[in-house]
């Protein structure tokens, strides 16, 4: 089975609407990631077929829970979940933030080769990044704890309607109970990723 066939099969198990053009872009991204990974060590996942499940599908399944037009993916690494989501939603804008130069170099290459006009890779530490405008959503699947995420990213979230969107594995009870008093958990979604073993949760947090 080709990567394209694998991705198409997995998408049929979801309610996501993904065009052939988008599937092609997602596959090109996986191929670039696989190629660059050999020299740059961008992800511990080596097999492109595993990348389809653990990186692409895992990122895309967050899509239905996004509200707004502007998002920042903090600690994006090789562009996860930002690149798959930007391909899924070409009318929304995504800033991909990482402090490591080689990752940002890779992301710029992805943006160039895939002609992604709605993606801006930026090399910066999150606490030092001062955007001109705040974001509707701050995404992360890399932060060690929810408290770290909301503390370091507080200046990035739109005051009136912005949300922190944290991707987690098992539901983090301890982290939720340790949240600062000015942060509220609005919703928690158990996310089912086809063929992925283990739990996945998306937590929506707001400043209260």
Phi, psi torsion values for 166, nearest 5 degrees: -105, 125
Q: Please tell me whether residue 72 adopts helix, strand or coil conformation.
A: strand
126 labelled binding-site residue: yes
Number of DSSP helices (H) and strands (E) in the chain, helices first: 8, 7
* Beta partners for residue 160, in sequence order: none
141 labelled binding-site residue: yes
Spatial distance between the Cα atoms of 118 and 95, rounded to a whole number of angstroms: 8
Nearest to 79 by CA among 48, 65, 100: 100
Beta carbons within 8 Å of 55's beta carbon, 6+ residues apart? 30, 33, 43, 45, 80, 84
Q: Which tokens sit at 53?
A: 């499940």
Nearest to 193 by CA among 8, 82, 61, 27: 61
175 labelled binding-site residue: no
Spatial distance between the Cα atoms of 28 and 165, rounded to a whole number of angstroms: 26
Q: What is the CA radius of gyration of the chain?
A: 16
88 labelled binding-site residue: no
Spatial distance between the Cα atoms of 142 and 86, rounded to a whole number of angstroms: 18
75 labelled binding-site residue: yes
Binding residues: 75, 80, 126-127, 141
Binding residues for S-adenosyl-L-methionine: 75, 80, 126-127, 141
């Amino acid at each position: 089975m080709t990567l394209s066939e694998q991705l198409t099969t997995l998408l049929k198990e979801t309610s996501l609407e993904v065009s052939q053009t988008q599937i092609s872009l997602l596959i090109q991204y996986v191929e670039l990631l696989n190629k660059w990974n050999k020299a740059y060590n961008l992800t511990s996942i080596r097999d492109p077929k595993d990348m389809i499940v653990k990186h692409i599908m895992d990122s895309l399944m967050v899509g239905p829970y996004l509200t707004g037009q502007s998002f920042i993916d903090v600690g994006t690494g090789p562009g996860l979940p930002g690149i798959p989501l930007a391909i899924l939603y070409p009318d929304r804008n995504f800033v991909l933030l990482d402090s490591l130069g080689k990752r940002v170099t890779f992301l710029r290459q992805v943006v160039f080769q895939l002609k992604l006009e709605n993606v801006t890779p930026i090399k910066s530490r999150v606490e030092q990044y001062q955007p001109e405008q705040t974001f509707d959503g701050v995404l992360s699947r890399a932060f060690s704890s929810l408290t770290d995420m909301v503390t370091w990213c507080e200046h990035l979230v739109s005051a009136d309607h912005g949300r922190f969107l944290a991707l987690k594995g098992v539901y983090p009870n301890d982290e939720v109970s340790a949240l600062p008093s000015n942060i509220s958990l609005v919703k928690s979604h158990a996310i089912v990723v086809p063929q992925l073993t283990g739990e996945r949760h998306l937590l929506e947090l707001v400043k209260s």
